Amino acid sequence: MQRERYIRLAEDILSYFRCERCGECCRTLPISLGWDDIERLYKEEGEAFFDKLDDNAIENCLKTPCPYLNGNRCTIYDKRPLVCRVFPFEFAYPFPSIRNCPLGKKISAELAKLEQELRGGEDSEHEEAIRKTIEAYDRFGNFMYEGEGMKCEVTIVSLELLEEFLRRLRNGADVQTRR
């Protein structure tokens, strides 16, 4: 339920922003596929689809770099996997997070401003949710993961803060990174 809520919030928030199309995520990150993604892509490509899967991955992932990347352009953009549609929002971790790519950094900065405004010197609901996440997973607000030749930095975010952010976007709040 939390995952579905997070995905819905990510998709809604991203409708107000434009990816910078640097392609870094497609070149460096494993792209996990859900069963819906696999079924859709297999119907489009048949057996040729299996050649695009990473044989070394434990779960269903595309090869890295993404075989659907041509320059900085996604050749299946309208049919891209869910993980790509919600990026830089990620749900691979046990908590909602935002990857710190160029767009993710901008969204995180806007969320930080909102969190500061909401806090007003006191602990906010977002801060409390992050504290509970930290206690549950022994993590902290921003963290770096390095391993197996991969390095990533993410920002942990609460669903409550994302909901308030989306409400303000819908009400026409001034956000610097909008389309």
Per-domain residue ranges for the chain?
1-16+88-170, 20-86
Q: What is the pLDDT of residue 130?
A: 57
User: Which range among 24-38, 87-101, 136-150 shows the weakest confidence by mean pLDDT?
Assistant: 136-150
CA dist 74 and 21 (Å) reads 9
Phi/psi region, residue 122 (left: phi>0; alpha: psi -120 to 50; beta: rest), is: beta
pLDDT at 137 over 60: no
CA dist 77 and 73 (Å) reads 8
Average model confidence (pLDDT) for the chain?
Answer: 81
pTM of the model: 0.77
pLDDT at 128 over 80: no
